[in-house]
Amino acid sequence: MNQSESPLRQIKTSRVIYPTLIGLGVIAYLMFKEFDPKAFNAVQFTIHSVFWLFVAALMMLFRDLGYVWRIRTLTGNRLSFMQSVRVIFLWEFTSAITPSAIGGTSVAILYVNKEGISLGKSSAVVMTTSFLDEIYFVVMFPLLLIVINTQELFYIGGGFTFANPFFAATVIGYGLKMLWVIVISYGLFKNPRGLKWLLLLIFKLPFLRRWRYGASKAGTDIIASSKELKKQNYKFWLKALGATFFSWTARYWIVNALFLAFFTVNDHFLLFARQLVMWIMMLVSPTPGGSGFSEYVFTEYLTDFLPFPGIAILMALLWRIFTYYPYLFIGVFLFPRWIKQKFSNPNNQA
């Protein structure tokens, strides 16, 4: 792989500063704009708080263990537990410093490959991971609309209407996820070469031509992934889906635990559903890891669960401390060491 074409060239530990500044900048602005001493005094730190903060940390651990379980399943247990943990942390780090709509997929293939998995198998693992994540949203969102009052789900912003910016962002995000699932399903299980041909045709357009190499690479990855995935039986898919649903569900219970640390939550399932919708909205965020946009949506979309609107700012910061910033700082230490280990020895070159 030429250095000019390597996906690693876009990953620099120095980029950690951008999402950190964006996220903390938005928090600081919202605090300055909506500062309310009475609201902040309402937050009491007790033994009860310590317990539920521990539960929130436990949910984050379960989320990561689910990802480790999934990647070991997808690689046929050829990755050890520690190798899987390393890949997950590197992948999350990459996703945290790239826009939400882009993520770390291209680099993730290299992460898996450099741990000893063939390039074709690595492509299949990463493609399947992305596919399963989107399946979770594509399945869960309609179910939520069935079991939850849609007016309550989109109460903030103006209700179940396109005039509501939160509803509009959700529809756009869900539409993109559904389109991705349909396209990838066709490519992986029906006609991978046809999908690659279509991608190359689309990226011949003048305003898309600069990304034609990436489209070609994606098409090649889909073809390699298709060959691998067609070999799998239903037990493989049940395990992978189970790990996916376990991970994402654990992630959403984190906010429930954080809120319970300081307040009473009257409708846990509605709070869970709001978070899932919030993550769908985050797909349209242009900032690295959704920084800034995520904090804003959190403070606006979940504020009615809190006794004072001003507290939402602190809770948004606490939420990001649990679910986002750890991957940034772990990646800062892990990524350079991984690069040195995998690329300093010529025998390790892909």
Residue 226 tokens, joined: 């298709």
Please give the pLDDT value at position 56. Answer: 95
Please give the pLDDT value at position 208. Answer: 66
Highest mean pLDDT among 31-45, 56-70, 230-244, 266-280: 56-70
Q: Is 247 exposed, middle or buried (0-12, 13-18, 19+ CB in 10 A)?
A: buried
* Average of per-residue pLDDT across 109-132: 85
Query: What phi, psi does 99 have (nearest 5°)?
Result: -55, 145
One-letter identity of residue 272: F
Q: Would residue 5 count as lying in a domain?
A: no
Q: Would residue 269 count as lying in a domain?
A: yes
* Average of per-residue pLDDT across 61-85: 93
How far is 342 from 349, CA to CA, in rounded Å? 7
Q: Would residue 258 count as lying in a domain?
A: yes
Flag whether pLDDT at 31 surpasses 90: no
Q: Would residue 1 count as lying in a domain?
A: no
Q: Would residue 4 count as lying in a domain?
A: no
Q: Would residue 250 count as lying in a domain?
A: yes
Residues 182-199 pLDDT 10s:
988 888 888 888 888 887
Please give the pLDDT value at position 350. Answer: 47
Domain count, the chain: 1
Range of 34's domain?
10-40+48-348
Query: What phi, psi does 288 have (nearest 5°)?
Result: -60, 125
- Pick 349 or 65 by higher pLDDT: 65
Q: Report CA torsion sign: 113, 119, 121, 126.
A: positive
* Average of per-residue pLDDT across 315-335: 87
Residues 279-324 pLDDT 10s:
888 877 766 667 777 888 888 888 888 887 778 888 888 898 898 8
Q: Would residue 128 count as lying in a domain?
A: yes
Please give the pLDDT value at position 62. Answer: 96
Please give the pLDDT value at position 4. Answer: 43
3-class secondary-structure state, position 310: coil
pTM, to two decimals:
0.83
Give me the half-sphere count of Cα atoms (radius 13 Å) on the Cβ side of residue 242. 9
How far is 251 from 57, CA to CA, in rounded Å? 10
Lowest pLDDT segment from 32-46, 239-253, 264-278, 332-346: 32-46
136 pLDDT tier (thresholds 50, 70, 90): very high
85 pLDDT tier (thresholds 50, 70, 90): very high
Percent of the chain surpassing pLDDT 70: 83
Residues 218-232 pLDDT 10s:
788 788 878 878 888
- Pick 63 or 2 by higher pLDDT: 63
* Residue 265 DSSP code: -
Q: Would residue 227 count as lying in a domain?
A: yes
Q: How high is the mean pLDDT of the chain?
A: 82
